[in-house]
Structure 1
Amino acid sequence: MNLIDETFHRLKMEDKTALIPFLTVGDPDLETTVDLLIQLEAAGADIIELGVPYSDPLADGPVIQRASQRALQQQISIRTCIETAAKAREAGVKVPFILFTYYNPILQTGFDTFFGLLQQHGISGMIIPDLPLEEAEEIGLRGREAGVHLIPLVAPTSAERIEKIVSRAQGFVYCVSSLGVTGERASFYDGIEEFIASVKQHTDVPVAVGFGISSREQVTRFSKMCDGVVVGSAIVRKVEENIPLLQNPDSREEGLLQIRSFVAQLKE
């Protein structure tokens, strides 16, 4: 069974909601990314999204864009990101990994190589925000053959469109909680509860929510509606704020613990 499925099944039996943090791989460097993955798991992360830095993002807000720029300065590629997951496994990290990437890096890598790398290095799922439903059939099929879930993003739309998107869902359905790009928000659009309820009516696959969730209070709110909650920009901002500590050998541990503490508070 795919690790994502195993995780949601276990959490359902325990009546718990998955916490799904997001990190930009290579921000501020690859060694720190591995250490951060260790800390996120220790803080209670159930699944982790690995963001592939990209020069022309569609869905990323300014915080994640800056993280991508820092990573790209070090020539971080999609292959590097996948290999970093393997290094985290070697360090003992056991939670499922999801690769968050745009379509062009996959296309440049080639499907055979891409899925071979995902299988080889223990990636359980993929999120491709710029790949519309109408063009996702081939990569979804290849993912099924490789045992790697293609996780769909769904934003508020018609019930008919929601039904079409979730009919092919694997792993979980990722509901977009805020219109626009990623980024921390104090409030969400009206009708978010009804939207999530509508998605859940159309699928038996777990439903997670993300985009803009940044505080313990918001995690608690959405945990009552969903099977999982994704926190991205708030964690990436914590990494950004702690870069001076992380890059100083004398204060590195302090920086790692600051980020671990923030994620642990989200999980409490």
Structure 2
Amino acid sequence: MNRYAQLFSRLDKANQGAFVPFVMLGDPTPELSLAIVDALVEGGADALELGIPFSDPVADGPTIQGAALRAFASHTTPDDCFTLLARIRAKYPELPIGLLVYANLVYVRHIDGFYEKCQQAGVDSVLVADVPVQMCEPYKAAADRFGIDSIFIAPPNGDTETLKAVAELGSGYTYLVSRAGVTGAETKAGMPVDGLINTLREFKAPPALLGFGISEPAQVREAIKAGAAGAISGSAVVKIIETHHKNPEHMLTRLKEFVEGMKAATNR
């Protein structure tokens, strides 16, 4: 049983959903991003979704683009990110760790080379944000070769064929997008998603985590009530880093408190 399966099994027994924060590796510096991960885990994060800074993040709004710029300003490279990932894995052997990346980052290393680096660093899953499920074959094949879960986005306007492909090809979890557009806490998650979740369940998709615009505990409760296995929050977490990174101690406290509040909302 892999780490995601173990996590969802444990949470089901505890009658809880998962809360998964997203942060950018290297934001605001490589060392501080390790302290940020510690704060997220201490706050109760069930898994991590981590980004590698990229210069043209088409799915991201201004908050997460800002995170990439701060990481670039501290000279964070993809190789640095893999070093950080290996350190996070060594410290948290049971924690599911997912990467959210763009195709160029994968392609520039050659697809097999990228997934091999992921395996070596202890990464559990990869979501390639700008590769739709219909074009995923080379990425999925490489992920399978190196024992990495392929995460696919179930879009809010997805037709039956798309959702069926997401269910059949995905593993680990399904990234359920609550609304169209780019990431950002400024635009609230669009509900309801019950119909989408039911369709995914019919197709036996991996557990659905709701993302995009999740910034407060009430939205986590709504997601779980609608049948999601949990929620992912990126921009709201990164906004705390953006606001307080000049005062690291305060930033880490705020991050931990934010995660505690969101995790408390996962009780069924």
Q: TM-score, length-normalised on structure 2? A: 0.92
What's 2:153 paired with? 153
8 Å CA contact retained: 1:19, 1:45: yes
RMSD: 1.7
Structure 2 regions of 5+ residues with no counterpart?
none
What's 2:163 paired with? 162
Counting only pairs closer than 5 Å after superposition, residues 28-43 of structure 1 correspond to structure 2 as 28-43=28-43
1:88-136, Cα deviation, whole Å (9 max, x unpaired) = 2344464111011001011111233222211111100001111122321
What's 1:178 paired with? 179
AA aligned to 2:262 is L
Q: TM-score, length-normalised on structure 1? A: 0.92
Rounded to whole Å, the distance in 2 between the matches of 1:89 and 1:188 is 31
Change (3 A) 1:9 1:35: same
- Whether 2:19 is the aligned partner of 1:23: answer no
What's 1:3 paired with? 3
Change (3 A) 1:40 1:189: closer
How far did 1:58 drift? Answer: 1.3
Rounded to whole Å, the distance in 2 between the matches of 1:103 and 1:195 is 26
1:39-87, Cα deviation, whole Å (9 max, x unpaired) = 1111111110111111111110110011111112233232322221112
Rounded to whole Å, the distance in 1 between the matches of 2:118 and 2:70 is 24
AA aligned to 1:267 is K
Rounded to whole Å, the distance in 2 between the matches of 1:190 and 1:267 is 20
1:120-167, Cα deviation, whole Å (9 max, x unpaired) = 111000011111223211221221221110100110221222112221
AA aligned to 1:147 is G
Higher deviation after alignment, 173-182 or 85-94: 85-94
SS of the counterpart of 2:209?
Answer: strand
Residue from 255, 259, 266 that aligns with 2:255: 259
AA aligned to 2:88 is A
AA aligned to 1:256 is L
AA aligned to 1:131 is V
Rounded to whole Å, the distance in 2 between the matches of 1:201 and 1:148 is 24
8 Å CA contact retained: 2:210, 2:223: yes
Counting only pairs closer than 5 Å after superposition, residues 50-65 of structure 1 correspond to structure 2 as 50-65=50-65
What's 1:231 paired with? 233
How many equivalent residue pairs?
262
What's 1:249 paired with? none
Change (3 A) 1:217 1:146: same
AA aligned to 2:246 is P
What's 1:203 paired with? 204
Change (3 A) 1:146 1:79: same
Change (3 A) 1:190 1:84: closer
AA aligned to 2:2 is N
Rounded to whole Å, the distance in 2 between the matches of 1:258 and 1:125 is 27
SS of the counterpart of 2:53?
Answer: coil
8 Å CA contact retained: 1:151, 1:169: yes
What's 2:122 paired with? 122
AA aligned to 2:238 is V
Structure 1 regions of 5+ residues with no counterpart?
247-251
8 Å CA contact retained: 1:38, 1:91: no
How far did 1:22 drift? Answer: 0.1
Rounded to whole Å, the distance in 1 between the matches of 2:69 and 2:251 is 21
Rounded to whole Å, the distance in 1 between the matches of 2:200 and 2:240 is 31
SS of the counterpart of 1:175?
Answer: strand
AA aligned to 1:20 is V
8 Å CA contact retained: 2:133, 2:162: no
Identity in percent? 30
